[in-house]
Structure 1
Amino acid sequence: MSGQQHEVSFRFLAQPSDVNFGGKVHGGTVMKWIDQAGYACAVGWSGAYCVTASISGIQFVAPILIGDLVTVHARLIHTGTSSMQLAVDVSARDLRSGGQRLATSCVMVFVALDSEGGRPTPVPRWEPRSEAELRLQEHARLVMELSKEMQKLIEQSPAPAVD
């Protein structure tokens, strides 16, 4: 049923196979978890197959260690015609001490696609229901504008010379 699920949380136990040589969970593993939770949230809202269009402002704030309980929380913060912006937070909790910390955060954009030709398809409109959700929606609009400005700068910059 589309339009019902506007947030999801996934939980993972950080395992030895998830870490790099420094003993911290690989950034790529964290990005995979973010993409999975974001996809589930976007599909749950739209009721359609969705693809990741962008990930903005990803910040690795604190390391995730072996044995940490990792929670990836994705929530819808803005809808366009066929796109959805999600705020995603990744937190890590030391199960022995109970200490919890924010490890990573970002804003993602997903686009819903139709089943016939894989073309963008409309998504239900999302409206903030609280002051906190209203602030998140405003943040999403700001991130979207900054992303458009960055894209313009990239398009205007000269191509580097290739030797």
Structure 2
Amino acid sequence: MSHTPDAEITLRFLAEPSDVNFGGNVHGGNVMKWIDHAGYTCAANWSSAYCVTVYVGGIRFLKPISVGDLVELKAELMHTGRTSMHISVSVHARNPRDRQRRFTTHCILVFVALGDDGKPVNVPTFEPISDQSKRLNAYAKRMIELREQLRAESQSFLDVMDG
């Protein structure tokens, strides 16, 4: 088996007229909501717990989504910490009358699993098996390092501004 079934999920639906902005394309805020739903579904499925979004990063809107397009969101677990899960969400769209899929959006999210008391709980460890899951895992680890560097830089900037 090339992947763990609980480590990914795919959602598919048609973009509706209520989803579009004044330019006739799906509003970016709607796409972000869909990404959060797909990510949450993947995180909750993996952890068997209620999860909260603690980080959204690197969202890229590459191509527009039109009303009536078949939208597909694939959420894949990338990496787990003790209580956190890094999830990659890719969005594709196509006119349902043809097979030409467009890669429209990508985003990385981090969720934390919570217990009934609202406190973080441990999640099962993710072990990447396929080449794709190994690439995603390595990418998540690089992003963790970069976020830590950014946090340190931001803190030193704030210290200078405060002093």
Scaled by the length of structure 2, the TM-score of the pair is: 0.91
* Matched-pair contact (CA < 8 Å) for 1:56–1:143: no
Q: State the Cα distance separating 1:136 from its structure 2 match.
A: 0.9
2:120 paired with 1:120: yes
Could you tell me which residue of structure 1 aligns to residue 109 of structure 2? Answer: 108
2:1 paired with 1:21: no
Q: State the Cα distance separating 1:114 from its structure 2 match.
A: 1.1
Could you tell me which residue of structure 2 aligns to residue 88 of structure 1? Answer: 89
Q: Which runs of 5+ in 1 are unaligned?
A: none
Letter matched to residue 134 of structure 2: L
- In structure 2, C-alpha distance between the alignment counterparts of 1:138 and 1:36, rounded to whole Å: 24
* Matched-pair contact (CA < 8 Å) for 1:72–1:90: yes
- In structure 1, C-alpha distance between the alignment counterparts of 2:17 and 2:5, rounded to whole Å: 36
- In structure 2, C-alpha distance between the alignment counterparts of 1:50 and 1:56, rounded to whole Å: 17
- In structure 1, C-alpha distance between the alignment counterparts of 2:101 and 2:154, rounded to whole Å: 38
Task: Tell me which protein shows more helix as a share of its residues.
Answer: 2
- In structure 1, C-alpha distance between the alignment counterparts of 2:37 and 2:146, rounded to whole Å: 25
Q: State the Cα distance separating 1:119 from its structure 2 match.
A: 1.0
Q: Percent identity?
A: 48
Could you tell me which residue of structure 2 aligns to residue 43 of structure 1? Answer: 44
Could you tell me which residue of structure 2 aligns to residue 147 of structure 1? Answer: 147
Letter matched to residue 88 of structure 2: A
Letter matched to residue 22 of structure 1: G
Letter matched to residue 142 of structure 1: R
Specify whether residues 62 and 43 from structure 1 end up closer, same or farther in structure 2 by C-alpha distance, changes over 3 A only.
Answer: same
Q: Which runs of 5+ in 2 are unaligned?
A: none
- In structure 2, C-alpha distance between the alignment counterparts of 1:151 and 1:27, rounded to whole Å: 27
- In structure 1, C-alpha distance between the alignment counterparts of 2:153 and 2:66, rounded to whole Å: 37
2:68 paired with 1:61: no
Could you tell me which residue of structure 2 aligns to residue 98 of structure 1? Answer: 99
After TM superposition, where is structure 1 displaced by more than 3 Å over at least 4 residues in a row?
none
Could you tell me which residue of structure 2 aligns to residue 130 of structure 1? Answer: 130
Letter matched to residue 148 of structure 1: E
* Matched-pair contact (CA < 8 Å) for 1:4–1:44: no
Indicate the SS of the match to 1:157. helix
Specify whether residues 96 and 4 from structure 1 end up closer, same or farther in structure 2 by C-alpha distance, changes over 3 A only.
Answer: closer
Number of equivalences? 157
Letter matched to residue 122 of structure 2: P
- In structure 2, C-alpha distance between the alignment counterparts of 1:156 and 1:21, rounded to whole Å: 42
Letter matched to residue 150 of structure 1: L
Q: State the Cα distance separating 1:94 from its structure 2 match.
A: 1.2
Scaled by the length of structure 1, the TM-score of the pair is: 0.91
